[in-house]
Amino acid sequence: MQSAWLVPLAMLFGLVVGSGLTLLVTLSVRRGSHAAEAVSESVPDGIDGMLDALGSPAMVLDPSNTVVKHSPGAAALGLLHQRALLHPALIEVVEEVRRSDEPVVRDLLLPRGPFGDSNLTVVARGARLGVRYVLLMVEDRSEALRLEDVRRDFVANISHELKTPIGAITLLSEALDSAADDPGVVRRFAARLDTEAHRLSRITQEIIELSRLQAADALKSPELVDIGHVVASAIDQNSVPAAGRSIELVRGGAKRAAVYGDEALLIVAVHNLIANAIQYSPEHGRIGVGVRVADGLVEIAVTDQGIGIAEEDRERVFERFYRVDRARSRNTGGSGLGLAIVKHVVQNHGGEVRLWSQPGRGSTFTIRIPEASEARAAALGLESA
């Protein structure tokens, strides 16, 4: 008899406990839903769209410094992880906004990436967003500052490079005046004066060419260019300096190849590579200039048997005013701009420059530019040569 009434009692107890748990879960879900709605309603309308449209990284933080909303740029720059700010300096900006109730602007240096092997230079701006939230915007100034450093170095290098020939011209002109009664000395000083004047003219011309190449419209009106003519012209321009050092210039490879671009600039690029090879080759040496067409690319390779380039210098030889051997460049009147001009000419033609070198065995510079086809020429309204 006792077991007969225990079974209904157990079932009733289970029903009550189950109903209570269901009620608790339902209330918890509703409470969480209400809290989410409250948070969502507290953030001003249009913030999502504004953050998506912003180019600069931006975040909205709640009172616990949790990132409740952020722009795509904030994640791309690595400023947050799992809705938490990664940099204590940014957290301090947010806290200062809360303490002062005023907008805060700070220049900060933040480690870049998880290992902190480099830094980001940023401007952080924080301001109140309603009562509960803070809007934090971060502007990355690293690239702008790098370009400013490049510009400053360029100006300093130009000043240094121009100082040498200008100073020499000044001294030689004074020496000419004092040696007016000695024809032999006058002729010797006049020859030196002519050399320095040509050097100054060359540096000025290369600076103008480099400035032109860095302009947006460097190739405003591309034409069909015969690479055979480009190579022949560049070799002809270097024939006298090569003969002066008993260096043989040898041409080989494909006879017919064409690209779209500026013929004069391409001649300058190939000329600079050949002149550079002559400068760093021993007397009685040999320089090869070869043309090859493969995989839709025209390749112009200039190979010398010179001193070669050390591995640590290969990445820097295309920088403006960088010289592997400064003493040799001074003696030959090099400006340090030749390879930088080559790089910019090739890039403006949609190509690249490759370098192979081994100290003591020589170097090969290879220009690679997209080949012109008859179909593409017709599409661009250009006439085939």
Residues 364 and 267 in one domain: yes
Task: Please check the confidence at residue 1 and state whether its pLDDT lies above 50.
Answer: no
Give residue 153's pLDDT: 63
Q: Examine the domain organization and report whether 280 and 361 are in the same domain.
A: yes
Picking from 140, 298, 161, the residue whose alpha carbon sits closest to that of residue 226 is 298
Say which range, 28-42, 58-72, 326-340, has the weakest mean pLDDT. Answer: 28-42
Residue 110, domain extent: 47-140
Tell me how far apart the terminal alpha carbons of the chain are, to the nearest angstrom: 114
User: CA-CA distance, 77 to 81, in Å (whole number)?
Assistant: 11
Mark whether 133 and 261 lie in a shared domain: no
Q: How far apart are CA 370 and CA 188, in angstroms?
A: 49
pLDDT for 383 equals 46
Closest CA to 271 of 243, 248, 237: 237
| The two three-digit tokens of residue 89, written as one number | 């300096």
Range of lowest pLDDT (39-43, 176-180, 366-370): 39-43
Verify that 173 and 310 share a domain, yes or no. Answer: no
Please indicate, yes or no, if residue 15 is contained in any of the structural domains.
Answer: no
pLDDT > 50? residue 350: yes
Mean of pLDDT over the chain: 76
- The per-residue pLDDT for range 84-107, each reduced to its tens digit, is 888 899 999 999 999 999 999 999
Q: What pLDDT, on the 0 to 100 scale, is given for residue 197?
A: 78
Most confident option among 4-13, 205-214, 350-359: 350-359
Please, are residues 187 and 260 in contact by the beta-carbon 8 Å criterion? no
Beta strand 84-85 pairing with 133-140: unpaired
Q: What percent of the chain has pLDDT over 70?
A: 68
Band of the pLDDT at 287, cuts 50, 70, 90?
A: very high
In a domain, 13, yes or no: no
Tell me what pLDDT residue 35 has: 41
Confidence of residue 363 (pLDDT cuts 50, 70, 90): very high
CATH number at residue 184: 1.10.287.130
- 116 and 149 co-located in one domain: no
User: Which residue carries 């030196």 as its tokens?
Assistant: 192
Q: Would residue 41 count as lying in a domain?
A: no
- 380 and 237 in a single domain? The answer is yes
Query: What residues contact residue 365 under an 8 Å CB cut-off, 6+ apart?
Result: 273, 276, 277, 301, 302, 342, 353, 354, 355
- 299-308 average pLDDT score: 92
One domain, residues 304 and 326:
yes
Q: What local confidence, expressed as pLDDT, does residue 364 receive?
A: 94
pLDDT greater than 70 at residue 218: no
One domain, residues 163 and 148: yes
Residues 165 and 136 in one domain: no
Domain boundary among 92, 118, 140: 140
Q: Using the 3D structure, point to which of 119, 140, 161 is the last residue of a domain.
A: 140
Extended beta strands in the chain, E state: 58-61, 67-70, 80-81, 84-85, 104-112, 118-129, 133-140, 223-226, 248-253, 258-261, 286-294, 297-303, 352-358, 362-370
What integer is the mean pLDDT of 42-49?
A: 67
Q: Is the pLDDT of residue 290 over 90?
A: yes
The predicted structure's pLDDT at residue 322: 66
Q: Are strands 104-112 and 118-129 parallel, antiparallel or unpaired?
A: antiparallel
Tell me: pLDDT of 57 over 90. no
Q: Is residue 23 part of a domain?
A: no
Q: What is the mean pLDDT of residues 101-125?
A: 81
Looking at residues 19-34, what average pLDDT do you find?
A: 45
- How many independent structural domains does the chain possess? 3
| Low-confidence winner among 172-181, 183-192, 276-285, 323-332 (lowest mean pLDDT) | 323-332
- Residue 29 domain flag: no
Q: What is the pLDDT of residue 169?
A: 77
- Residues 275, 372, single domain; the answer is yes
Better-predicted residue by pLDDT, 262 or 114 = 262
pTM exceeds 0.75 for this model: no
CATH number at residue 242: 3.30.565.10
Higher-confidence residue: 275 or 212?
275
| Per-residue model confidence as pLDDT tens digits over 146-157 | 767 666 666 666
pLDDT computed for residue 217 by the predictor: 55
Q: Is the dihedral of CA 368, 370, 371, 377 positive or negative?
A: negative
Q: Is residue 209 domain-resident? A: yes
Are 90 and 136 within 8 A, CB to CB?
yes
CATH number, domain with residue 93: 3.30.450.20
* Of the residues 140, 167, 194, the one at which a domain ends: 140
Same domain, 194 and 234: no
77 and 203 both lie in a single domain: no
Q: Would residue 160 count as lying in a domain? A: yes
Confidence bin at 126 (pLDDT 50/70/90) = very high
Per-residue model confidence (pLDDT) at position 198: 73
pLDDT of 32 > 90? The answer is: no
Mean pLDDT of 191-197: 77
Is residue 40 domain-resident?
no
Q: How confident is the model at residue 116 (pLDDT cuts 50, 70, 90)?
A: low
